[in-house]
Amino acid sequence: MSTIGEVIKCKAAVAWEPNKPVVIEEIEVAPPQENEVRIKIVATSVCHSDLYHLFEYMHPEGFPTVLGHEAAGIVESVGPGVTEFQPGDKVIPVFLGQCRECRFCKSPKTNQCELAWTRVSDVILASVESRFTCKGKKVLQFMGTSTFSEYTVVHQSAVTKIDPAAPLEKVCILGCGLCTGYGAAVNVAKVEPGSTCAVFGLGAVGLAAVMGCKDAGATRIIAVDINSEKAEKAKVFGATEFVNPKDHNKPINQVLVEMTNGGVDYSLECVGKVEVMRSALESCIKAWGISVIVGWTDVYNVTVKPLSLLCGRTWKGCMFGGFKSKDGVAQMVKAYLEKKLMVDEFITHNMTLDQINDAIGLMKDCKCIRTVITLSPQ
Ligand SMILES: NC(=O)c1ccc[n+]([C@@H]2O[C@H](COP(=O)([O-])OP(=O)(O)OC[C@H]3O[C@@H](n4cnc5c(N)ncnc54)[C@H](O)[C@@H]3O)[C@@H](O)[C@H]2O)c1
Ligand SMILES: [Zn+2]
Ligand SMILES: [Zn+2]
CA separation for the pair 192, 229 (Å, rounded): 29
Indicate the DSSP class of residue 194. T
Least Cα distance to 70 among 292, 293, 320 occurs for 320
The pLDDT, as a whole number, for residue 298 is 85
* List of E strands, the chain: 8-15, 23-29, 36-45, 65-66, 70-78, 90-93, 132-134, 137-141, 151-155, 159-161, 196-200, 220-224, 241-243, 266-269, 290-293, 314-317, 347-352, 370-374
Domain check: are 213 and 283 in the same one? yes
Say whether 69 is catalytic. Answer: yes
Residue 336 lies in a domain: no
Q: Which residues contact 133 (CB under 8 A, 6 or more apart)?
A: 27, 28, 30, 139
| Residue of 10, 45, 47, 113 marked catalytic | 47
| Residue of 10, 45, 48, 69 marked catalytic | 69
Indicate the DSSP class of residue 130. -
CB–CB of 157/327 below 8 Å?
A: no
The pLDDT, as a whole number, for residue 378 is 67
Domain check: are 38 and 68 in the same one? yes
Domain check: are 251 and 350 in the same one? no
Residue 3 lies in a domain: no
Domain check: are 24 and 145 in the same one? yes
CB–CB of 191/266 below 8 Å?
A: yes
Domain check: are 211 and 290 in the same one? yes
CATH number of the domain where residue 30 is located: 3.90.180.10
CATH number of the domain where residue 305 is located: 3.40.50.720
Angle 297-366-65 from CA coordinates, rounded to 5°:
50
Give me the number of domains the chain comprises: 2
Q: What is the CA radius of gyration of the chain?
A: 20
157 C-alpha vs ligand 2 centroid, how far in Å?
Answer: 8
Q: At what angle do helices 274-282 and 252-259 cross, to 10 degrees?
A: 20
Residue 87 lies in a domain: yes
Domain check: are 189 and 82 in the same one? no
| Residue of 45, 49, 77, 146 marked catalytic | 49
CA separation for the pair 181, 183 (Å, rounded): 6
How many Cα atoms within 13 Å fall on the side-chain side of residue 128?
Answer: 3
Ligand number with the minimum distance to the CA of 205: 1
Residue 328 lies in a domain: no
Say whether 59 is catalytic. Answer: no
324 C-alpha vs ligand 2 centroid, how far in Å?
Answer: 9
Domain that holds residue 16: 8-175+343-374
CA separation for the pair 30, 33 (Å, rounded): 9
Residues of the chain short of pLDDT 70, as ranges, are 378
Neighbouring CB atoms inside 10 A of 220's CB total 17
Domain check: are 136 and 199 in the same one? no
CA separation for the pair 210, 349 (Å, rounded): 21
The pLDDT, as a whole number, for residue 315 is 98
Burial 118-150 (b: 16+ CB within 10 A, else e): ebbeeebbbbeebbbebeeeebbbbbbbbbbbb
Neighbouring CB atoms inside 10 A of 5's CB total 8
Residue 206 lies in a domain: yes
Domain check: are 292 and 147 in the same one? no
Q: Which helix (H) or strand (E) holds 357?
A: helix 356-364
Residue 325 lies in a domain: no
Helices H, strands E: what count in the chain?
A: 12, 18
CB–CB of 178/346 below 8 Å?
A: yes
Q: Which residues surround ligand 3, an ion (CB under 5 A)?
A: 47, 49, 176
Who lines ligand 1 at CB under 6 A?
47-49, 52, 176-177, 180, 200-206, 224-227, 230, 245, 270-273, 276, 294-296, 319-320, 363, 366
CB–CB of 67/13 below 8 Å?
A: yes
Side chain identity at residue 103, one-letter code:
R
Residue 2 lies in a domain: no
52 C-alpha vs ligand 3 centroid, how far in Å?
Answer: 10
Whole-structure pTM value: 0.97
Residue 324 lies in a domain: no
Least Cα distance to 46 among 378, 318, 374 occurs for 374
Domain check: are 306 and 236 in the same one? yes
36 C-alpha vs ligand 1 centroid, how far in Å?
Answer: 31
Q: How far is CA 351 from the centre of its chain?
A: 19
Domain check: are 171 and 72 in the same one? yes
Q: Which residues pair with 121 in a beta bridge?
A: 126
Give the torsion through C-alpha atoms of 215, 50, 160, 330, to 10 deg.
Answer: 10
Say whether 349 is catalytic. Answer: no
CB–CB of 61/15 below 8 Å?
A: no
Domain check: are 105 and 215 in the same one? no
CA separation for the pair 10, 76 (Å, rounded): 13
Side chain identity at residue 294, one-letter code:
V
Domain check: are 301 and 214 in the same one? yes
